[in-house]
Amino acid sequence: MSHPRSRSALGAEAANEFGSRNPLQPGFVNERVSSRVADVVDSEPHDPRQELGAAELRILYRKEAEATRRVEARPGLWIAVAIYLLFSAMDLLLIPDVAAYTIEARFAVGLAALLTLEAQLRRGVGAEWLDVTCAAAIIFGYLGWLCPTILSAEKESVSYYMVFGTIFMMGANLFFTFRFKLSVVTSAIILFLLFIVNYFVPSTPTYKLILAIFYISCFTFTSYVNWKLNEERYNVFLNALEAKIQHREATERGKALLRLSRTDPLTGLENRRAIDEKLRDYWSDWQKLGAGFAAILIDVDFFKKFNDCYGHQEGDCCLIHVANALSDLIKGYDGSIGRYGGEEFIVLARMDKKDQVADLAEAICRTVENLALTHELRRDGISIVTASVGAAFTRKQSGAKLEKIIHEADRALYLAKASGRNCARLFDPTDPQSSDESENLAALLKIAIGQDLVSLVYQPIQDVKSGRLEAVEALMRLKMLDGTLVPPSLFIPVAERTGAILELGRWAIRTVCTELLAGDHVRVVSVNVSPIQLKTPGFAASVATILGETGVTGNRLAFEITEGLEMEMHSDILRCISDLKLLGIKIWLDDFGTGFAGLSWLRLIDFDTVKIDRSFLHDCATPKGMAMLQDIIALVRNRGHKILVEGVETEQQMGLMREYGIDKVQGFHVGRPIPAANFQAKRAIQKRAFPVLKSA
Ligand code: C2E
Ligand code: MG
Ligand code: MG
C-alpha cells in the first residue's frame, strides 16, 4: 500500500516516467496491473492513488497512452505527409532550380513513411514502433528536403528557407504524441542537422548567430511544452480514473440505498414495498405469459400476547427465527418471501395447481410449529409459537385485479384464524364466507343504515321463577335491496371483518334506546356486542353519548359478548368493559361453552349473567349430555353468575330448567324474535289497563 500523494508528487512521478526507461515488460505484467486496477475500480470505492502503487499507475497510464497513440498514428502521419507535400509549392517558388528534386524527395519519403505505417498497422505492431516510423518520417522528411535544397543556386532564399527546419522539430515535439524521450531525441537530431546546415549556409556571422539562438530556443521551448503536455495527459488520466472510481462509488452507494429501502431491517427479508413490486412482476407474468402464482399470507398467532409476556426483544427474536425458517423453506420453491407488516409475512411462489399451493401453505404452518418456540401464555392449550396461513392463487376470472389475490389470501387467513389458528386455509371461491357474495354483502352493509335495510327484532327473555318478561335480546336483521333476508350468521362476520360492525353496533344501541327503552316498553334490553367494538377506542364514550342523548340509564342495557375464536383478552377490552360497567351497563357472556376462552374470561370479568349455549340443552337427550349440562350449570353457579339457558324450545326443556333452578330462559318456547312494534303495542295496552304501573 502506498501513501497518499499530492498531485504535484504525482506529476513528478509522471515526469520520471516520461524520461526513464520502462522498467517492466509489457504482456504479463500489464495484464496483472490491469486486473489489479479493475479490482480497485470494481471493489470498494477508494482513491486510486492510495490503492495503486506509482509503478502500477505508470504501467496503466502507459497502456492507455499506447492505445491512444495507436489510434492517432494513422491520421497524424497522413496529415503531416499531406502538409509536407503541399510545401512543394514553396519549393517551386523559392528554389525553382532544385524543386524537381525536392518534390521527388518529398513524395518518396512521404509514400515510404505511409506504406511502412500501414504495413505496421496491418501487422499489429506495438505503438512504440509506429512512433518510431513517424519519428523516422520526420527526420527523413527533413533530410529529403534539405539535401537538394542546399544545392540550390538561390543562396539567399536557401538561407531564409532553412528556418523551416524548425517546423520538423515542432512536429516531433508538439504535433505527434510521442513519448517524451522519443520526441526529444527526434527534435535533437533535427537541431543537430539545423546547426550543420547553419554552419554551411552562406550568410553573415550575425545572421548565423541569431539563427543558432533561435534554433536552441525553439528546441528548448517545444521540448518544455512537450514535457508539460505529457504531464497534463498523465493528470487527465488520473482524473479520469478517479472519476471512474467515484462513479462506481456513487453507483454502489445508490445500490446499497436501494437495497436498504427494500429490506426489512429486523428480519433481513424483503419489505412490503419490495414485495409489492415483486407482486406486480408476478402479476404481469401471469397476465402476459399465463405463469400462475400463489400469494400466501402468514400471521404469527397470538403475537401480541407473546410480546406482552416475553418482551419486545424476545418478540423480535421470535420473528427472526420464523423469518429464517420460512426463508429456508421457500428456497426449495420458486418463490419470494417478505415481511408484510408487524407479525405478518407473505410468500409469492410460481405455481398454479391447487394441491401445490395447499402443500406449501401446510408446509409453512408445520415449519413454524416445528421451531417449537415456547409461548406458554396463549389460552388455547398450545404452548408454542404457531402461525395461521391463508393462501390464494391465480385463476381465470373476469375483471381480475392485482389487489384481489392479496384480498383473497387475506380472507383465507381470516378463515384460518377463525378455524382455531395453527392451520392453513386456501381461498375457496365457492365458499360463501370468501366468495364474491361476501364482497356484495360488504358493499350492502356500507349502505344498510342509510337505505333502511337493517332493523332489529327482539326475543323475550323470561324469569323462570316468576314467569315474567325479564328482558329482551335485540337481534339484527338485514335485507337485501330486493327484500331477501340475509341471516346474521352470514352478515355479522362480514361486518366484523370489514369494520362495518362499528357503525352498525352504534346504530343498534341507539335504536334499542329509542325504540324500546326511552318509551319504557321493556325494562332491560340485551344487545350483542362484538369484541371488535370493545377493542375500538372511544366505544364506551360513544355509548355514554347515546345514553345521554336518549335519556336512558345504563342499567337498562346489557351487552352480550360472545367468546368467539377471534377473541384474545386484550387489555383494551378489559378497560372498555370496566368503563361500560361504570355506566351501569350489565355485561353478559353469550354462547358460553362454544369457544375455548370461556373459562379464562369467567376468571377475568365479573359477568352479571352467563348465557349457556343452546347446544348443551339440545344434547340433553343423552345421559352424557345431561351430565355435561349439569356440570356447566354447577360451574357457572359456583362462580356466582346468574344463569340463562338459550334455545328452550319445548315445555319439557322448560321443566328441566325449573328443576335445575335456572334464573332465566330464552328460546322459541318463550317467544320468537319479534319487531319492536309488538312490544310497543303491548305496553300501550298495559298502560291503558293499569295507568299507575310504570314498567312491565
Ligand atoms: P345469539 O346472540 O346467540 O342470538 C341467539 C340466536 O339464537 C338468534 O339467532 C336467535 O334467533 C336464535 N334462537 C333463539 N331462540 C332459539 C331457539 O329456541 N332455537 C333455535 N334453534 N334458535 C334460537 P340469530 O338472530 O340468527 O342470531 C345469530 C347470531 O348473530 C346471534 O347469536 C349473535 O351472535 C349474532 N347477532 C345477532 N344480532 C347481532 C347484533 O346486533 N350484533 C352482533 N354483534 N351480533 C349479532
Ligand atoms: Mg346473543
Ligand atoms: Mg347466544
DSSP string for 548-563: HHHT--GGGEEEEEE-
Asked if residue 125 is part of any domain, the answer here is yes
159 and 289 fall within a common domain: no
Q: CA 655, CA 498: separation in Å to the nearest integer?
A: 43
498 touches 434 (CB < 8 A):
no
Q: What is the DSSP string of 316-383?
A: HHHHHHHHHHHHHHHHTTTEEEEEEETTEEEEEE----HHHHHHHHHHHHHHHHHH--B-TT-TTS--
379 and 491 fall within a common domain: no
Asked if residue 6 is part of any domain, the answer here is no
Residue 336: Cβ-neighbour burial (10 angstroms; 0-12, 13-18, 19+): buried
Side-chain-side CA neighbours of 663 within 13 Å: the count stands at 16
Q: Is 503 in the pocket of ligand 1 (CB under 6 A)?
A: no
232 and 380 fall within a common domain: no
Total structural domains within the chain: 3
Asked if residue 356 is part of any domain, the answer here is yes
Q: Cell 470494481 appears where?
A: 42
pLDDT value of position 687: 66
Of the residues 343, 344, 515, 563, only one is catalytic, namely: 343
Q: 123-133: b or e for each residue (b if 16 or more CB lie within 10 Å)? A: eeeebbebbbb
Q: How close is the Cα of 644 to the center of ligand 3, in Å? A: 10
Tell how far CA 450 is from the center of its chain: 41
Containing 181, the helix (H) or strand (E) segment is: helix 180-200
The CATH number of residue 413's host domain is 3.30.70.270
Ligand 1 atom at minimal distance to the Cα of residue 668:
18
Q: Is 475 in the pocket of ligand 1 (CB under 6 A)?
A: yes
- Please list all protein residues whose beta carbon sits less than 5 angstroms from ligand 3, which is an ion: 590-591, 646
Q: CA 122, CA 395: separation in Å to the nearest integer?
A: 64
pLDDT value of position 398: 57
407 and 446 fall within a common domain: no
Ligand 1 atom at minimal distance to the Cα of residue 613:
3
Last residue of a domain, one of 237, 259, 286: 237
pTM as predicted = 0.52
353 and 457 fall within a common domain: no
The answer for residues whose C-beta is within 8 angstroms of residue 69's C-beta and 6 or more apart is 127, 130, 131, 177, 178
Asked if residue 255 is part of any domain, the answer here is no
495 and 423 fall within a common domain: no
Q: How close is the Cα of 492 to the center of ligand 2, in Å? A: 12
pLDDT value of position 624: 92
422 and 519 fall within a common domain: no
594 and 497 fall within a common domain: yes
Structural domain harbouring 119: 72-237
Q: Is 252 annotated in the active site? A: no
Residue 348 pairs in a beta bridge with 295, 336
Task: Pick the residue whose CA is nearest to atom 41 on ligand 1.
Answer: 476
Q: CA 33, CA 501: separation in Å to the nearest integer?
A: 73
Q: Is 656 helix (H, G, I), strand (E, B) or coil?
A: helix
Q: Is 492 in the pocket of ligand 1 (CB under 6 A)?
A: yes
Q: Is 221 in the pocket of ligand 1 (CB under 6 A)?
A: no
Task: Pick the residue whose CA is nearest to atom 25 on ligand 1.
Answer: 475
Ligand 1 atom at minimal distance to the Cα of residue 560:
2
The vertex-463 CA angle with 457 and 468, nearest 5°, equals 80
- How confident is the chain (696 residues) per 10-residue block, as mean pLDDT? 37 39 38 51 52 75 84 91 94 93 95 95 91 94 91 87 90 90 94 89 86 92 92 88 88 87 93 92 90 94 90 95 96 91 94 91 96 84 91 79 86 84 88 66 90 96 95 96 88 89 96 94 95 91 96 96 65 90 96 73 88 92 92 92 96 95 96 92 70 45
Q: Is 494 in the pocket of ligand 1 (CB under 6 A)?
A: no
The grid coordinates of residue 513 equal 334506546
140 and 206 fall within a common domain: yes
Q: How close is the Cα of 562 to the center of ligand 2, in Å? A: 7
Asked if residue 350 is part of any domain, the answer here is yes
227 and 295 fall within a common domain: no
The CATH number of residue 596's host domain is 3.20.20.450
Asked if residue 32 is part of any domain, the answer here is no
* Strands 586-592 and 469-479, bridge-based pairing: unpaired
Q: CA 124, CA 455: separation in Å to the nearest integer?
A: 95
Q: Is 531 in the pocket of ligand 1 (CB under 6 A)?
A: no
Asked if residue 35 is part of any domain, the answer here is no
Q: How close is the Cα of 471 to the center of ligand 2, in Å? A: 12
447 and 423 fall within a common domain: no
Task: Pick the residue whose CA is nearest to atom 15 on ligand 1.
Answer: 667
Q: Is 233 helix (H, G, I), strand (E, B) or coil?
A: helix
Asked if residue 224 is part of any domain, the answer here is yes
pLDDT value of position 218: 93
For 416-448, the three-class secondary structure string (H helix, E strand, C coil) is: HHHCCCCCEEECCCCCCCCCHHHHHHHHHHHHH
314 touches 380 (CB < 8 A):
no
Q: CA 243, CA 246: separation in Å to the nearest integer?
A: 5
Q: Cell 395453527 appears where?
A: 422
Q: Is 667 in the pocket of ligand 1 (CB under 6 A)?
A: yes
pLDDT value of position 567: 55
123 and 160 fall within a common domain: yes
Task: Pick the residue whose CA is nearest to atom 37 on ligand 1.
Answer: 475
Q: Is 460 in the pocket of ligand 1 (CB under 6 A)?
A: no
Q: Is 590 in the pocket of ligand 1 (CB under 6 A)?
A: yes
Residue 390 pairs in a beta bridge with 297, 425
Task: Pick the residue whose CA is nearest to atom 20 on ligand 1.
Answer: 647
